[in-house]
Amino acid sequence: MKLDAVWFEQSNCYIDGRWCAPLGGGYLTVENPSDGCEIGQIARGQAADIDQAVAAATAARAGEWGRLPAFERGRLLARMGQLVLKYQDALTQIEAADVGKPLTQARNDARALARYLEFYGGAADKITGETIPYLDGYTVYTLREPHGVTGHIVPWNYPMQIIGRSVGAALAMGNACVLKPAEEACLTALAIGAIAEEAGLPKGALNVVPGLGSEAGAALSAHPGVQHLSFTGSVPVGSLIQAAAAKNVVPVTLELGGKSPQLVFEDADLDAALPFLVNAGIQNAGQTCSASSRILVQRSRYDEVLARMAERYEALRVGPAARDLDVGPLISGTQKSVVEGFLAKGRDLEVAARGQIVADAPEAGHYVCPTLLAGVAPDHILAQDEIFGPVQVVIAFDDEAEAIAIANGTDFGLVASIWSRDGARQMRLAKDLRAGQVFINNYGAGGGVELPFGGVGKSGHGREKGFEALYGFSSLKTVAAFHG
Ligand code: NAD
């Protein structure tokens, strides 16, 4: 496998350390969202391929991979991280072509993947149990053990980052993984298989089976040989995954969508806030689970914030990933129709500003103009539903109580941010906001791999990233020895 040049030709499943054609013989077309052209084919893995991958992972747990000391696992992950950095140019090009990410954003994802592998590589031998004082004559201690075989179903919007955080943490704990990437964006997942191979990961420790959600995804989530499921994606599919997990009585981590707000108070430092207010909505063309799609502004500064955001929107340029502009295309024609459908439902709203699609953007690319909508009622469908496109709504509030009521007034609870110089207000609101992450005078904190991440409500449950993920990818055994 060569990753030192732009790399699209490898399309098969990676199972048990080998590249194998799908047993059903079918392939799916890979499209470049920037111009609608076909750039390759990927295996259409199905239940039989998933069976093989789960068998390979089970054997890996019982074999070389399962016997490796934690520090050796860590060393292998660190080596994978180094290879990701070595091949970052190729990974950037692949992701830009496959997902439509502007090059800078694609490179950030590759570098984040390297950070996850470094972080979890370093953490692998630092997770310990504890001793528990107990009755006279007993010694009691706990062991953190891998679940066994873990299934990872990931979406198309940030393949490298999501694989880094979930597969990275699962491998660090000694699980053997079966990864089912999204059918729209499999190429970097397969590249990660190639990197694992080059790093010397024992066969079967990481298996990658591309394919459709309804086939390979459903087979993986229902497989009785899988002991933990990690899913990132939409709420309806997350709910199916949880039902499948319930049937097999296995734990599941769900990272679902969001409708994340930024709360701008009258004492906010607007110069500091403005880049975050806009970028958090349009990064990756708004196809980000933690996108900030709602901007809540205290009424006394509403006009000013709206005018300054509008100025930024008008400067936004949208075009092919290779041009590395502010915004690329959406992933697919389907996603474009979804976003346009939402915009049609918002025809009654005031369009405060739009970005611009460059004149030479290919007709067949999936471009949508970033759109800033003003005067939006908190219960409007565009202020409630996840759009997953470059659309933000601006909502006015009068006081803290109203700000919290609006911020918490959706089904979601992924992240939120507070822009204010008032320390007491920051502390109060950080407690009152219903979210898995709260930012004070920033948004996203640079995405830190160290920071536990996940949601409440329809945004899901369980935490990935940071040390917390290592606890999620392991189970605790209590050993109580009576020795008199
Ligand atoms: P999706 O739920 O349609 O697909 C996600 C993954 O699930 C894909 O790999 C797909 O093949 C698979 N899948 C689809 N149907 C399946 C089934 N029946 N059984 C098993 N697997 C199945 O989501 P999407 O359209 O790829 O991604 C967009 C959604 O994901 C958005 O709602 C977004 O907010 C969410 N998301 C959340 C996070 C997070 O960390 N919270 C990150 C990225 C995306």
What's the CATH code of the domain at 206?
A: 3.40.605.10
307 and 421 together in one domain: yes
252 and 264 together in one domain: no
176 and 271 together in one domain: no
**Position 456 in a domain:** no
Cα-to-chain-centroid distance, residue 112 = 11
In the reported structure, the alpha carbon of residue 255 is separated from the centroid of ligand 1 by a whole-number distance in angstroms of: 9
Residue nearest atom 12 in ligand 1 by C-alpha distance: 213
Single out the catalytic residue among 95, 215, 255, 464.
255
**Position 166 in a domain:** yes
413 and 472 together in one domain: no
Tell me the pLDDT of the chain (484 aa) as tens digits: 455 444 555 589 999 999 999 999 999 999 999 999 998 899 999 999 999 999 999 999 999 999 999 999 999 999 999 999 999 999 999 999 999 999 999 999 999 999 999 999 999 999 999 999 999 999 999 999 999 999 999 999 999 999 999 999 999 999 999 999 999 999 999 999 999 999 999 999 999 999 999 999 999 999 999 999 999 999 999 999 999 999 999 999 999 999 999 999 999 999 999 999 999 999 999 999 999 999 999 999 999 999 999 999 999 999 999 999 999 999 999 999 999 999 999 999 999 999 999 999 999 999 999 999 998 999 999 999 999 999 999 999 999 999 999 999 999 999 999 999 999 999 999 999 999 999 999 999 999 999 999 999 999 999 999 999 999 999 999 999 999 9
Strand ranges (E), 1-153? 13-15, 18-20, 27-31, 38-43, 131-132, 138-146, 149-153
Q: Report the CATH number that the domain containing residue 424 is assigned in CATH.
A: 3.40.309.10
Residues whose beta carbon lies within 6 Å of some atom of ligand 1: 153-157, 180, 182-183, 213-214, 217-218, 221, 232-234, 237, 240-241, 255-257, 289, 386, 388, 460
- pLDDT in the model for residue 11: 85
33 and 172 together in one domain: yes
Structural domain range at position 159: 3-256+461-479
373 and 417 together in one domain: yes
247 and 270 together in one domain: no
Active site residue 255: yes
Burial of 11-32, coded b for 16+ CB within 10 Å and e otherwise, reads: bbbbbbbebbebbeeebbebbb
Q: How many domains does the chain have?
A: 2
Q: Tell me which residue of 409, 276, 379, 391 sits closest to 339, measured CA to CA.
A: 391
**Position 453 in a domain:** no
Active site residue 289: yes
